[in-house]
């Protein structure tokens, strides 16, 4: 049985916990870096990326998050979480965790009041998925090993690179758990491979 953590420093933590549990898997809030060793996969939720980075530094999470990635454990960044995973950020010299070979632009769909919903076709996930965009970033460019899973208005909004999954929107804010289920399957596969 797999256990999935949700980084619980800021953002829609409870909603992600509920989404993971609805996929039939145990979910736990990660508030201390030591707890990372107990989970098989990690969700980095939406929120405010600058605030999240400040809290990652304050609670000394950065090295532990990079080690988690180095161990081959899957990580799923949604909205601000995608910004944390990206190796390159438009207008910034340094990334945050910087493990996913994508370039991301913050707030590229406008401010809070320009939030919107869109039905997306996401490869291997759904033909019609209700996505909630709130001050969303988008992926400007991807490295050669990154698979683009979805675009909206010609902008990349979902991508995967091996164990890393990132999206611009908030899958936890709907009752549709297919996208979370896709990540749960990634975690199960990674754990099975490790034990072989």
Positions in the chain whose pLDDT score sits under 70: 108, 110-114
DSSP letters for 146-190: PEEEEEETTEEEEEEETTEEEESS-GGGSS--HHHHHHHHHHHHH
Give the span between the Cα atoms of 62 and 84, in whole angstroms: 10
Q: Out of 48, 147, 172, 196, pick the active-site residue.
A: 172
Q: Out of 16, 96, 152, 170, pick the active-site residue.
A: 170
Q: Does residue 34 have an active-site annotation?
A: no
Instruction: Report the pLDDT value the prediction gives residue 112, as an integer from 0 to 100.
Output: 61
pTM assigned to the model: 0.96
3-state SS class at 135: coil
Mapped to the 3 state alphabet, what secondary structure does 58-91 carry?
Answer: HCCCHHHHHHHHHCCCCEEEECHHHHHHEEEECC
Instruction: Report the pLDDT value the prediction gives residue 17, as an integer from 0 to 100.
Output: 97
8 Å CB contact between 148 and 158: yes
Q: Which domains does the chain carry?
A: 3-195 (3.40.50.880)
Q: Does residue 79 have an active-site annotation?
A: yes
Q: Out of 16, 79, 150, 152, pick the active-site residue.
A: 79
Q: Does residue 170 have an active-site annotation?
A: yes
Instruction: Report the pLDDT value the prediction gives residue 110, as an integer from 0 to 100.
Output: 64
Give the span between the Cα atoms of 74 and 3, in whole angstroms: 12
Give the span between the Cα atoms of 96 and 98, in whole angstroms: 5
User: What is the Cα 118 distance to its own chain's centre?
Assistant: 19
3-state SS class at 44: strand
DSSP state of 124: T
Instruction: Report the pLDDT value the prediction gives residue 49, as an integer from 0 to 100.
Output: 87
Instruction: Report the pLDDT value the prediction gives residue 103, as an integer from 0 to 100.
Output: 97
Instruction: Report the pLDDT value the prediction gives residue 173, as an integer from 0 to 100.
Output: 94
């Amino acid at each position: 049985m797999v256990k999935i953590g949700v980084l619980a420093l800021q953002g829609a933590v409870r909603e992600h916990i509920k989404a993971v549990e609805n996929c039939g898997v145990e979910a736990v809030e990660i508030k201390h870096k030591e707890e990372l060793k107990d989970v098989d996969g990690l969700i980095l939720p939406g929120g405010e990326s600058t605030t999240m980075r400040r809290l990652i530094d304050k609670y000394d999470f950065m090295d532990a998050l990079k080690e988690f990635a180095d161990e081959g454990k899957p990580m799923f960044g949604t909205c601000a979480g995608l910004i944390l995973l990206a190796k390159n950020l438009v207008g910034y010299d340094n990334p945050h965790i910087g493990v996913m070979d994508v370039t991301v632009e913050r707030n590229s769909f406008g401010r809070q009041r320009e939030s919107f919903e869109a039905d997306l076709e996401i490869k291997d996930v759904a033909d019609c998925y209700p996505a909630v965009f709130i001050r969303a970033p988008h992926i400007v460019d991807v490295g050669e090993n990154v698979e683009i899973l979805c675009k909206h208005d010609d902008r990349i909004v979902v991508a995967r690179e091996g164990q890393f999954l990132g999206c611009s929107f908030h899958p936890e804010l709907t009752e549709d758990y297919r996208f979370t289920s896709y990540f749960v399957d990634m975690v199960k596969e990674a754990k099975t491979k490790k034990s072989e």
